[in-house]
A and B are shown apart, each in its own frame.
Chain A
Amino acid sequence: MTKIEVKNVFKIFGSNPKKVFPLLEKNLSKEEILEKTGNTVGVNDASFKVKKGEFFVVMGLSGSGKSTLIRCINRLIKPTKGQILIDGEDVVTASKEKLREIRRKKISMVFQNFGLFPHRTVAKNVEYGLEVQGIDENERRRKAYEALKLVGLKGYEESMPDQLSGGMQQRVGLARALANDPDILLMDEAFSALDPLIRKEMQDELLELQSKMHKTIVFITHDLDEALKLGDRIAVMKDGEIVQIGTPEEILTNPANDYVREFVQDVDRSKVITAESIMQKPIELASPKNGPRVVIRKMKKAGINSILVTDAEKKLKGIVTIDDAVELAKKDNENIEEIIKEIPTVSPDTPIVDIMPMSAEADYPIAVINEDNRLLGIIVRVSLISGIVGEGN
């Protein structure tokens, strides 16, 4: 289900945006347009959809238009042209009252430098979104305390923001954004002002919160590692344009152009590439109902010396080696279930780093299974290595 749909959005800063559109059509660059017209192209024809519950990351260098784009979504900045649909309703043309309603109920924002109200206590900061809605004081206090507990700030409710560390201040920012239980969280470089360690901690906590809350998140960053870690999908921006949208793996393995390629160059691929992207389809499978002779024939035909056994629902039973099967056939025993051995399994989103040590120990391929134990594919050592080196793309 689509939650946010951005359709051909432009934002031109300056006194005469009309002049800019024909130049954009002629493919003039941002610098040329600035020189010719004095207008700055903030966002240039951005289009994308964010699904409900998705963690959508927008990445790009400084000045690429990320902040402008995210501010168009709650109309802190009004797009010059285009549509932004939230649950099908256009924010760009919404009336003042409608816009206020959307901001109060549907979208909250977290800011790079926290944007806290320095004259209000932590709890009063968190209450703010409820206060402007005219919600009863006890009720909003209760919700604020709840939100603060959620982000691990129990006990700091009556502190002033400037008494807290940066990481804690941003937790307040997060609690404030969560207090009115919005569907959508907009986070503009929310962790960029924090120390690396605190930052990592916050990333982990956000992911954990997200696994419980299933918000739709639009997260801005200029840090690729952060984008890869957090994003279900990533949009890469350059000079106001979105140059690529894809899953972290797609961005890494298949960069759309040199700009993206340069961005992803120095990432440790083993941390990002997952089982899913390097697994292969097994050449042949056996059923537990097969007798040993059938199984041996299958292996010989496929040129393999072990075979995975799955049941009618494709659930993984284990592996049978050719030696065991021959042994069983000699005894005239038809029940291969007796010789099925366990093999190591991983889920599709396991990163390569974690698979490598397993692979080093295992004598057999590694099976990739989903949460129902259904076989999705196998990983053999060769594909593991080529995944790391990044061949074949």
Chain B
Amino acid sequence: MLTLNIGQWFEVFIKWLKDNFEGFFDIVKNVLESGIVGTEDLLLLLPSIVLIIAITLIAWKSAGRGVAAFTFVGLLLIDSMELWDDTMKTLALVLISALVALIFGIPLGILAAKSKLVDKILRPILDFMQTMPAFVYLIPAVLFFGLGKVPGSVATIIFSMPPVVRLTNLAIRQVPTEVVEAAKSFGSTSNQLLFKVQLPLALPTILAGINQTIMLALSMVVISAMIGAGGLGNQVLKGIQQYRIGLGFESGVSVVILAMVLDRITQAFGNSK
């Protein structure tokens, strides 16, 4: 039997990357770190009650009274469990990671919709990204970025990007042929076609993709805490490791509340279009 040591080759490859692109990784690290920490600081700058009211108002505007009520009560509950700071740290990590995933994911989805070749290349990569157990991303992330928030964020970005790529791609392809033909027949440039016709019509589906990406990013909270990303995930881990069932439960509930609030608000944006 032929034995292939793929794992070893992968290690070599990662090492090579690390040695040759150190400058690049440093830049990535700095950008992400300052993004996350900056957002954290911003969120924690305000007294919790002000932020709670602000988020409740956003929920009210976008998703109506029911969601607003739930948001208000839920966030108050988190605050009263003294998990507010951790929740904001998690929120900062999730928002920045999801934002980066969207910044790369949406254009990739557009490219895949416009080019069969890109679509063909991207498809297996996305499958790989989505089915690979999320833990596996932790290893190279730690290798490149050490421990802390940044590797957690990187793993989250990779893991949460596929849905927005896929749904952007799908959304643009779903725009009726005749409508695209009409736009072309009047002499649109490909940018005009994209921005005046395809993207506006694809928007609801793209927003569904954004929602899924944010949800997946949230699902990485506990996993990324294992490499020191902190936040609610860290409290959950503490609960497990130190056998503090109460703490584990409280932080778990906080994650769920945060997830539901983010989900309802982003979904509402999708439906209102």
Contacts and interface: CB of A to CB of B under 8 A. Distances in A.
Interface of A: 71, 74, 76, 100-105, 107-109, 111-119, 128-129, 131-133, 176, 180, 186
Instruction: Give the residue among B182, B189, B196, B197 with the most A Cβ atoms within 10 A.
Output: B182
Contacts of A71: 181
5 contacts: A71-B181, A117-B179, A119-B200, A119-B201, A186-B185
A71 B189 CA distance: 18
Contacts of B186: 103-104, 108, 128-129, 132, 176, 180
B187 A133 contact: yes
B189 A132 contact: yes
B184 interface: yes
A111 B179 CA distance: 9
A103 B192 contact: no
B178 A111 contact: yes
B66 to A, nearest CB: 28
Nearest to A180: B186
Nearest to A71: B181
B140 to A, nearest CB: 39
Interface of B: 176, 178-179, 181-189, 192, 196-197, 200-201
B181 A100 contact: no
A150 to B, nearest CB: 18
Contact of B189 (A100, A107, A108, A117): A100
A115 B182 contact: yes
Given A111-B178, A115-B178, A132-B196, 17 more contacts: A71-B181, A100-B187, A100-B189, A102-B187, A103-B184, A104-B186, A105-B187, A111-B181, A111-B182, A112-B178, A113-B178, A115-B176, A117-B183, A119-B201, A128-B196, A131-B196, A133-B187
Contacts of A132: 186-189, 192, 196
A109 B183 contact: no
A210 B181 CA distance: 24
B185 A74 contact: yes
B189 A128 contact: no
Contact of A118 (B183, B185, B196, B201): B201
B23 to A, nearest CB: 39
Instruction: Give the residue among B184, B186, B192 with the most A Cβ atoms within 10 A.
Output: B186
Nearest to B184: A76
B260 to A, nearest CB: 30
A115 to B, nearest CB: 4
Q: Which 6 A-B pairs have the closest CB atoms?
A: A104-B187, A115-B182, A103-B187, A115-B178, A129-B186, A109-B185
B197 A117 contact: yes
A186 to B, nearest CB: 8
Contacts of A112: 178
Nearest to B180: A115
Nearest to B200: A119
Contacts of B188: 132
Contact of A103 (B176, B179, B185, B200): B185
Nearest to A173: B182
Contacts of A131: 196
Contacts of A104: 186-187
Contacts of A102: 187
Nearest to A112: B178
B202 to A, nearest CB: 10
Contacts of B187: 100-105, 129, 132-133
